[in-house]
A and B are shown apart, each in its own frame.
Chain A
Amino acid sequence: DVKVTQSSRYLVKRTGEKVFLECVQDMDHENMFWYRQDPGLGLRLIYFSYDVKMKEKGDIPEGYSVSREKKERFSLILESASTNQTSMYLCASSFPPEGLSPMNTEAFFGQGTRLTVV
């Protein structure tokens, strides 16, 4: 079974704090993703990575950065947390079959981190 684990289930941070959300997968997947989930907006892609030290911006990268120093770990960083970043954050990973785009395959999600910025 694929396991994608996010370091925290719930987090409360203050405005202006630097926040780290950690995600680890144990299946040697090439691709990792960070999404935020908000009511009525679905899942929006923040950043993704298809290899160590590689990253690409998603739909809503402003206010976020990421780090992929090791294949199994993908970190989302809020440089200076703001109240509009209060949300559910979901990490996902996938293994691209040879010849297929990184996006053309099943994504396995972590359990989510509910972040509240006060």
Chain B
Amino acid sequence: GENVEQHPSTLSVQEGDSAVIKCTYSDSASNYFPWYKQELGKRPQLIIDIRSNVGEKKDQRIAVTLNKTAKHFSLHITETQPEDSAVYFCAAPLAGNQFYFGTGTSLTVIP
């Protein structure tokens, strides 16, 4: 939705390269920022999340960084592999218990 902007909408990288997807949000009170991965024909699944009391979180080849001042957070995938090809969604809770997702990034890892 318009309260969470996600870029780019499509991303192609060579296998082994890094991929970065960025989201910006509008509500400065937001304090939880998850990333979901949706493989073709499958349901979205949480891959990593971060809360506002930390600036970075890593889990093997994926990491999320948060800049609360600038109101943006990013997903970093290093040493990409073909199985990383999927649509990735960021999300952020907003005032009034609305939980908005970004519009998604279709990542293609080229072998």
Contacts and interface: CB of A to CB of B under 8 A. Distances in A.
A and B form one complex: yes
Contacts of A56: 97
Given A42-B1, A43-B89, A106 B46 contact: yes
Interface residues of A, number: 25
Contacts of B12: none
Contacts of B97: 48, 56, 101-103
B25 interface: no
B99 to A, nearest CB: 4
Contacts of B32: 100-101, 103-105
Contacts of B102: 42
B106 to A, nearest CB: 10
Contacts of B6: 42
Nearest to B94: A103
Interface stretch (A12-20, A73-81, A108-116): A108-116
Contact of A103 (B44, B45, B93): B93
Interface string B10-39: 000000000000000000000110100000
Interface in A39-74: 40-45, 48, 56, 58-59
Nearest to B45: A109
Nearest to A106: B46
A112 B43 contact: yes
Interface of A (DSSP majority class): loop
A105 B51 CA distance: 10
A57 to B, nearest CB: 9
A44 B31 contact: no
B74 interface: no
Contacts of A117: none
Looking at B91, B99, B101, the one whose CB has the most chain A CB atoms below 10 A away is B99
A59 B44 contact: no
B101 A42 contact: yes
Given A104-B31, A106-B34, A107-B46, A41 B103 contact: yes
B9 interface: yes
Given A101-B93, A102-B97, A106-B49, A43 B44 contact: yes
